Amino acid sequence: MTPAPPWALLAELTHACPLRCGYCSNPVELVSRSAELSTAQRSDVFRQAGALGVVHTHLSGGEPLLRRDLPALVAAADGAGLYTQLVTSGVGLGERRLAELIRAGLRSVQLSVQHADPLAAEHIAGARSFTAKQRAARLVRAAGLPLGLNAVLHRGNLDALDGLIRLALDWGADRIELAHTQYHGWAARNRAALMPTPAQVGRARDRVAHWRERLADTLELVWVAPDLVDATAKPCMGGWGAVSLTVTPDGTVLPCPAAGTLPALDPPRVQDHELDWIWRESKAFNAFRGEAWMPDPCRGCALRTTDHGGCRCQAHALTGDPTRTDPACRHAPDHHLVRALVHDPAEPPAFAYREGGS
């Protein structure tokens, strides 16, 4: 069956980043700056994505502002008919740069935040960044662009949820995404340090319910559930090869940002194939598409149409086999592996800052 066109393209423009967050889910081995796609190659990817039917592109990284040619890339994406969103730390987003990007066709900005307290935020980020974020938020709002905040949640900030939501209100955001850490790439090294306790998650969930009732339509509040603590497989990426694709800094095309870790996936590159072929025909994008690949108990489970079999990268990370049922699911034969991670009563170790990105 021919797959429907993808809706979104995650364009990882560079792995370079001024922050050193321990929860970074980019690969342990980062793509070097010299191996990044050129302006012309990246622009052609946007052209192909538009022709394929992609509607929305997230210009991400690392820190996409470190690409000097970012305005040209935004213009190329906009010219291809894509809605452009900058996913940024805010470091380097001054008035002139923002104006340039808006002239090129930038439509919205998603700003990462680590904590509402400046010192705690900079401790998590491993770099001076809070004032730059605050200024970036002010500039984006003054320019009239939609502003979203993204907070990656973990043991070190989950009890400070109220502050993060108040920060979003103070900074005039339209939306805040409260997303639990995905234990891929560098973050997998810090799993024990970052894993929240079930009690923390319970309290945070109550606060989200409280704020949702109080805020009504003033601020969109998105809670991305912690699949490991909840013992529920997440509908990762909305299904494999179903709604989105990722193009890494060096032109590798992946069904999800972490799929480069899977053995024998043989991911295609934009230098070798057209995006249309990659989406429809490549082995990598068809590996876990649909339901035919599913093992028991997924294949007989009513949840398979909503969780799409969970996360393949997590199944591989925890069991060594990407075809296993996602161990996050309480019905998975390997779920004991997750219980051991979540219920570890030991004091967590300190997290290790991201290396290799700056």
Total chain residues near ligand FES (CB under 6 A): 10
Reading the block at residue 198, the tokens are 């079930």
Cβ atoms of residues 276 and 352 within 8 Å: no
CB of 313 to ligand FES, least distance (A): 3
Query: Which of 243, 242, 202, 244 minimizes the C-alpha distance to 225?
Result: 202
Q: Nearest 5°: phi and psi at 243?
A: -130, -15
Residue 24's contacts (CB-CB under 8 Å, 6 or more residues apart) are 17, 185, 186, 187, 354, 357
When asked if residue 228 is in the footprint of ligand FES (CB under 6 A), the reply is no
Determine whether the annotation assigns residue 17 to a binding site.
Answer: yes
Distance in Å, CB of 293 to ligand FES, minimum: 12
Strands 244-247 and 253-254, bridge-based pairing: antiparallel
In this chain, which of 180, 312, 324, 354 binds ligand FES, going by CB under 6 A?
Answer: 312
Q: Phi-psi bin for 8: left (phi > 0), alpha (psi -120 to 50), beta? A: beta
DSSP 8-state code for residue 29? S
- Judged by CB under 6 A, which of 311, 317, 329, 338 binds ligand FES? 311
Residue 21 among known ligand-binding residues: yes
Burial bucket for residue 19 (CB in 10 Å: 0-12, 13-18, 19+): buried
* Residue 259 interacting with ligand FES (CB under 6 A): yes
Q: x-or-dash pattern for ligand FES, window 167-186, by CB under 6 A?
A: -----------------x--
109 in contact with ligand FES (CB under 6 A)? no
313 lies in the binding site for ligand FES (CB under 6 A): yes
Which one of the spans 40-48, 76-84, 311-319, 331-339 is the region binding ligand FES (CB under 6 A)? 311-319
311 belongs to an annotated ligand binding site? no
Query: In angstroms, rounded to a whole number, what is the distance separating the alpha carbons of residues 318 and 106?
Result: 39
Q: How far is the CB of 241 from ligand FES (least distance, A)?
A: 10
Annotated binding site for [4Fe-4S] cluster: 17, 21, 24
Contacting residues toward ligand FES, per CB under 6 A: 184, 236-237, 256, 258-259, 311-314
